[in-house]
Structure 1
């Protein structure tokens, strides 16, 4: 039987482009495509299966199988040979398909008379779209050239599908990038927003996957490779200005850019009919497929380097991607795979929301989003592949849901929700200057969390009585080297100026875990959240800790100073850190510098162990702040960045509230001021329960002050405490149902 030679494969691509260029509905195009592929491959059957959802494939067009089975035959991912191709992203080439493991006989298609089977995935850079299949009655294996030809055609189909060239809008299948999509992820910061997509690193869209002139395409590829190599050489020429790890990355890139094998494979792809861009992307897709199967972490990193280098080459060839001059919309919702703190800060507070395909609830981006009080969704898998600049988008940070290109019904309901929230904010503004005093006369102090100078204007507008947590690590995270002492002292002074005499609790450097400094050698730890972080780093790296303490003392310039140490797990850690501060105070006095009028030294209680510290700790600490985010994850042994477990455990769990009650009692014994700081402090239901359990100070994001104050002022905390105690006696796992019933009865 004739085989698809290189010349024939290029001829097939040309015929494919002509078929796609012809008019007609989407189904008509699909039918023409299957016929011309079957003719060109000299097979009786060609079929296209496309995903209807993440787990279901549907026969959407066929030449050779029964026409009535189109749009009727469906299978699950991994089911049958077609499902196996989709699940593994690998071709299956069999001379006797019915004898293959997992073969599924589908009588409605009439395929039982066909022995040979060749199926290849239709995908683009990891995004699975479907499976392309050819079959024939003759029992034979398809040649390497035939397999290659079908893979190239499948790749071109994927490109065309993204551009909407296969399926018409009138069809039941709306073109990709025109469909309404819903993405679910983790809540990095609550809130809601409506806007338009602005991609941090826009995808490269290939509009010409088929090359007319192989020689011209080869020249374009070689010119782009030359430019790429020149760019890398220029960067390496400035190696003295670059950190060591970055130099290694660039050296790896240069090694790949000079790889003869990489260039040869792309040149062969062009010779077979692809454009330069499509040839680069085909090799990139192959590398990504290999990446998913390589167990060795080092090799996966090297394949990731090749993936990134391919993106650079595609941007040179197409002029797309970063720095393309795309205008940022006024209501921009930033969409990115991931983003560092410095890059996010460059966008400023004008962003409506941030959606990340990766990231975590404890990431740098999450810290900044909370400081800016803008919604943040993390782990929204697949959104960077699907979203395009300018797409309409609705972000529900309360539920962790992103509506991309929503229909009118969803948009209308979402806008109703936004209107209700706006009315609520008007109510909160009316009580801004009133104290958070409950119906039973108990006064609760509400502080705000901050980490940037830009946060301080929110102090007055939110009605907060001070800053319960100022995160000092942001100034370290956004720099490429350690900040100078003078810079920090000036910043801390400006923070205190902006606070206008209100209390500001400066938390010393809290790095480690997911917060790694660019200029700090990373350490591989099996569980970073339980590893070398926060106060542990400070006590081991005393030079950095002393420098920061000196900056805080000088920044106070004679005013009262409040410092707290993070992640203290035992009394001796606090004692050492406090002694270091007192030593720096004495040093500053000898140098003739002005000392703070008063220094309050506290600790963040984020580990259960500290709740059981000796009485002397509670006597020595001037105040204690419960770090609820970490304390809860360690109490329940549930990683707060793991969506599968973090939502299993309720903050209003009886055991957790009883534990908080023990901490309240221990602090009451020694008269140690106690506050609660964290996400839960800003949730009104949780906040009133904390207040009812005896916590008299709460620290939260500025936007939460109003809602929390509003509910406190309407609640009798004595009555609420009785409800909580009754639920505890009843053996309830959580007091939430009883509390909600109590509030509902009050209207």
Structure 2
């Protein structure tokens, strides 16, 4: 067969472009494409397989196999040569397919004994969406130019697949992104919101993958790269005061922007028929593929730099993204693959909600979303592909569900839900100045969690009696270098001023696990949640802890100060941390600074081991706070970042409540004040059960204070305790059903 010329390759791409532009339903497009490719490559068969789910490929179109096998023939990932291409994301080109490892004959397709096989992955930016296959009866390996042509066609197919060109009965691409779609993710932060989509980093849509004029495309590419290099030089100039390590990273960034190899590869792609945008994305896809294969974290980070440069270059070429000047809607719901804490804080409280494709319940974004009281849904797969700026969107953070472009009936029901929640909040506002006193006469002290100055106004409005947990790590996470002692002292002083005499418990820096400082070298740990984190980092690297403790002492300026050390696992750790704080008190005394009027030193009980610490620990600690989120995951050995297991274990499990009761008893022996911090403290039924087990102080997000107070005031905790004990005696695993039945029966309303 004659060697294919570049002009013929470009001709194939032009024919593909024209085919995609024709009107017709999705299946018609696929059928026309397979016919076009088979004719152009002069192969007996051309087939397109797309993923039906994460593990199953489905034959979606074919030229040369039985038409009735379309949408009926399926392969598992790794099954047959097609499955191997999908699993490895690498082409297979062979002149003797039956002798290849893993070959599978599929008689249901009417497949003959085709000797030649070429399969290339249909992938975009590292994500494999399917496989494009050509086959011939006579034995031959397809030429490099034919492989290249198929890879480019596969890239265009991937782009069109993500845009939805092959689904439904739409007449043209312009008709896409108009239907209602429901995304089922996971709860990152509870709450409900209605608004309009604001894409944090809008996906660059390439609508012109094929170009007729290579010279014009070369000129466009060079102009865009020149603009990119100027922007990188400006970035370096504005960060000239950065530390040496940061400057090295930025210099590497500039090196990539000036890479001749990167430029040469894109120019070659343009010469073979691609537009400038498609050439950039082709190289970006190769970079993404390499990122997944490189074990070295430093090299992975450098490849990430190249990936980021490609995104910048694509935005310059297409005019998409922030450069378009699009205005944020009045009621924005942020939609993104993922987002850092600093970026989310920059948006602030103007956001109505946040929806992420990635993220986790303990991620920086989730922490900030809780601090800002913004509904957050995570793991909303592929929403950035479907959503467009300005689309109507409903966020149900309670259920982890997102409605994009919802029908009016759905919107109406959702608005009713929001209105009911608002009415309930009005009712709770009337309880603001009332104590959380149960019908049995027991009073539970309700406090709020905070981490930002923006949280403090809620202290007055929520009815919280104080701040049971002020997270100090956010001020470290949102900066690109360690904050200065004076900056922290000023911030902590403003927190105490805003509290207006109410008690504030400052938790010292809780980093590690899912919270990694951007300027701190990440430790490569097999299980970070059980690794070098929180107090362990503070004791091993005391410099930052010393600076933070000094800032807290100076912020108090004669006022009471409560300091809590996180993730204390054994008595000796608490002793060491406490001694460290007392040394700083003595140092401040020697310097002539004003000392706190009263000093409380406490610990967070987040590991089961601390519940069994020697009695001396409970005697020495001025207070103990149960960190419910971590304690529960360690108690049940269930990673709270793992969606497969985290919902399996109930806080109201009888064994967990009995463990809480043991902690209450140990603290009671030494009159050590005990509180419970965490998401469960803010859920009314869970809060009721914790109070029934003996806890007299709960700390939660501000919006939860009202609902928790409302429920506690209408029940008898002694009776609630009897319900728990009866469920245990009956052999129930969880007391939740019994408690819900008791409450539904009008408990405490008489």
Q: What TM-score, normalized to structure 1?
A: 0.92
| Corresponding residue of 1:95 | 95
User: SS state of the match for residue 349, structure 1?
Assistant: helix
Contact 1:185–1:377 (CA<8 Å) still a contact in 2?
A: yes
Return the offset for 1:297.
Answer: 4.5
Contact 1:362–1:641 (CA<8 Å) still a contact in 2?
A: yes
Quick check: 230-239 or 332-341, which moved more? Answer: 230-239
Distance 1:643 1:72, change over 3 A: closer
Quick check: 278-287 or 477-486, which moved more? Answer: 477-486
| Corresponding residue of 2:346 | 346
Return the offset for 1:713.
Answer: 1.7
In structure 2, stretches of 5+ residues that fail to align are none
| Corresponding residue of 1:435 | 435
| C-alpha distance in structure 1 between counterparts of 2:157 and 2:432, whole Å | 58
Contact 1:168–1:174 (CA<8 Å) still a contact in 2?
A: no
| Corresponding residue of 1:603 | 603
| Corresponding residue of 1:136 | 136
| Corresponding residue of 1:243 | 243
| Corresponding residue of 2:567 | 567
| C-alpha distance in structure 2 between counterparts of 1:520 and 1:264, whole Å | 36
| C-alpha distance in structure 2 between counterparts of 1:26 and 1:483, whole Å | 55
Contact 2:98–2:115 (CA<8 Å) still a contact in 1?
A: yes
Return the offset for 1:327.
Answer: 1.4
Deviations 1:83-128 (A, max 9, x none): 4433433333343445555455555543326443333232322344
| Corresponding residue of 1:507 | 507
Quick check: 91-100 or 705-714, which moved more? Answer: 91-100
1:37 aligns to 2:37 (yes or no): yes
In the comparison of the two structures, how many residue pairs are matched? 747
Quick check: 631-640 or 585-594, which moved more? Answer: 585-594
| Corresponding residue of 1:469 | 469
| C-alpha distance in structure 2 between counterparts of 1:410 and 1:86, whole Å | 38
| Superposition map of 1:644-655 within 5 A | 644-655=644-655
User: SS state of the match for residue 132, structure 1?
Assistant: strand
Return the offset for 1:446.
Answer: 0.6
| Corresponding residue of 2:526 | 526
Quick check: 126-135 or 65-74, which moved more? Answer: 65-74
Quick check: 143-152 or 39-48, which moved more? Answer: 39-48
Return the offset for 1:296.
Answer: 4.8
Contact 2:163–2:176 (CA<8 Å) still a contact in 1?
A: yes
Distance 1:585 1:65, change over 3 A: closer
1:496 aligns to 2:504 (yes or no): no
Contact 2:24–2:169 (CA<8 Å) still a contact in 1?
A: no
1:18 aligns to 2:34 (yes or no): no
Deviations 1:507-559 (A, max 9, x none): 22223333233343443333333333333333344443343333323323333
Deviations 1:256-284 (A, max 9, x none): 34444333322221111001110111121
Distance 1:21 1:634, change over 3 A: closer
Quick check: 426-435 or 651-660, which moved more? Answer: 426-435
Distance 1:544 1:300, change over 3 A: closer
| Corresponding residue of 2:631 | 631
Quick check: 132-141 or 328-337, which moved more? Answer: 132-141
| Corresponding residue of 1:331 | 331
Return the offset for 1:575.
Answer: 3.0
| Corresponding residue of 1:211 | 211
Distance 1:620 1:262, change over 3 A: same
Contact 1:162–1:175 (CA<8 Å) still a contact in 2?
A: no
| C-alpha distance in structure 1 between counterparts of 2:493 and 2:253, whole Å | 44
Contact 2:23–2:172 (CA<8 Å) still a contact in 1?
A: no
Deviations 1:23-47 (A, max 9, x none): 4444444333333222221223333
Return the offset for 1:665.
Answer: 0.9
User: SS state of the match for residue 645, structure 1?
Assistant: coil
| Corresponding residue of 2:357 | 357
1:268 aligns to 2:295 (yes or no): no
| Corresponding residue of 1:682 | 682
1:482 aligns to 2:487 (yes or no): no
| C-alpha distance in structure 1 between counterparts of 2:302 and 2:479, whole Å | 27
Contact 2:625–2:676 (CA<8 Å) still a contact in 1?
A: yes
| C-alpha distance in structure 1 between counterparts of 2:165 and 2:735, whole Å | 56
| Corresponding residue of 2:194 | 194
1:516 aligns to 2:519 (yes or no): no
| C-alpha distance in structure 2 between counterparts of 1:17 and 1:178, whole Å | 23
Deviations 1:302-329 (A, max 9, x none): 4333322322222232232345422112
Contact 1:211–1:217 (CA<8 Å) still a contact in 2?
A: yes
| C-alpha distance in structure 1 between counterparts of 2:308 and 2:119, whole Å | 29
1:667 aligns to 2:667 (yes or no): yes
Contact 1:4–1:149 (CA<8 Å) still a contact in 2?
A: no
Contact 1:162–1:176 (CA<8 Å) still a contact in 2?
A: no
Return the offset for 1:447.
Answer: 0.5
User: SS state of the match for residue 445, structure 1?
Assistant: strand
| C-alpha distance in structure 1 between counterparts of 2:51 and 2:613, whole Å | 58
| Corresponding residue of 1:147 | 147
Deviations 1:640-661 (A, max 9, x none): 2222332232222222222211
| Corresponding residue of 2:457 | 457
Contact 1:653–1:733 (CA<8 Å) still a contact in 2?
A: yes
| C-alpha distance in structure 1 between counterparts of 2:24 and 2:529, whole Å | 57
| C-alpha distance in structure 1 between counterparts of 2:518 and 2:305, whole Å | 19
1:701 aligns to 2:685 (yes or no): no
Distance 1:467 1:114, change over 3 A: same
| Corresponding residue of 1:225 | 225
| C-alpha distance in structure 1 between counterparts of 2:546 and 2:148, whole Å | 63
Return the offset for 1:736.
Answer: 2.3
| C-alpha distance in structure 2 between counterparts of 1:163 and 1:15, whole Å | 19
Distance 1:725 1:236, change over 3 A: same
User: SS state of the match for residue 432, structure 1?
Assistant: coil
Distance 1:422 1:4, change over 3 A: farther
Contact 1:681–1:687 (CA<8 Å) still a contact in 2?
A: yes
Contact 1:27–1:171 (CA<8 Å) still a contact in 2?
A: no
Quick check: 244-253 or 689-698, which moved more? Answer: 244-253
Contact 2:162–2:385 (CA<8 Å) still a contact in 1?
A: no
Quick check: 723-732 or 8-17, which moved more? Answer: 723-732
1:318 aligns to 2:289 (yes or no): no
| C-alpha distance in structure 2 between counterparts of 1:165 and 1:690, whole Å | 53
| Corresponding residue of 1:399 | 399
Distance 1:738 1:323, change over 3 A: same
Quick check: 415-424 or 610-619, which moved more? Answer: 415-424
| C-alpha distance in structure 2 between counterparts of 1:658 and 1:406, whole Å | 45
Quick check: 79-88 or 302-311, which moved more? Answer: 79-88
| C-alpha distance in structure 2 between counterparts of 1:526 and 1:82, whole Å | 34
Quick check: 501-510 or 230-239, which moved more? Answer: 230-239
| C-alpha distance in structure 2 between counterparts of 1:593 and 1:233, whole Å | 46
Contact 2:94–2:141 (CA<8 Å) still a contact in 1?
A: yes
Deviations 1:367-406 (A, max 9, x none): 2111111122334443334433223333222233333344
Return the offset for 1:470.
Answer: 1.2
| Superposition map of 1:546-557 within 5 A | 546-557=546-557
Deviations 1:28-70 (A, max 9, x none): 4433333322222122333333444444544444333344444
| C-alpha distance in structure 1 between counterparts of 2:92 and 2:406, whole Å | 38
Contact 2:23–2:171 (CA<8 Å) still a contact in 1?
A: no
| Corresponding residue of 2:536 | 536
Superposition RMSD in Å: 2.9
Distance 1:45 1:610, change over 3 A: closer
